[in-house]
Amino acid sequence: MRATGRESLTCAGTNALLAYRGPEQTRFAEPEAMDHAREQLSTEALRHLDALYNLARWLVRDPVEAEDLVHETYLRALRAAQQFHPGTNLRAWLFSNTAEYLLHPVQA
């Protein structure tokens, strides 16, 4: 059974995801900051939807599988929103997440 809502965004049973802050320090991200980061990322990421679908379609050669791949890429991106650094290339980050999922799919 899959968790829904906030439960699906937990990490190792906690209510916050770990945010990497440097080699010497890792801390829990504040839930409000995580929500803001996810909201901002989701808004920006939708601008790349067509390009991401085209990449997925080229990689898997099947429209239905391509849609599933794009969906999974967006879910992974939203879960990892704290790892994205604003000002960097979001499109490249999404594309690399797509390729990464093909190489290492989540085991159900």
Torsion of CA 87, 90, 91, 96, to 10 degrees: 130
Q: How far apart are CA 88 and CA 38, in angstroms?
A: 16
Quote the pLDDT of residue 24: 41
Phi-psi region of 19 (alpha: psi -120 to 50; beta: other; left: phi over 0): beta
Quote the pLDDT of residue 39: 84
Quote the pLDDT of residue 11: 32
pLDDT, averaged per 10 consecutive residues of the chain (108 residues), comes to 38 32 44 75 90 95 94 90 87 92 74
- Tell me, what DSSP letter sits at residue 107? P
Quote the pLDDT of residue 43: 87
Q: Long-range CB contacts (< 8 A, 24+ apart) of 25-33?
A: 29/82, 33/82
Report the CATH architecture of 30-103.
Orthogonal Bundle (1.10)
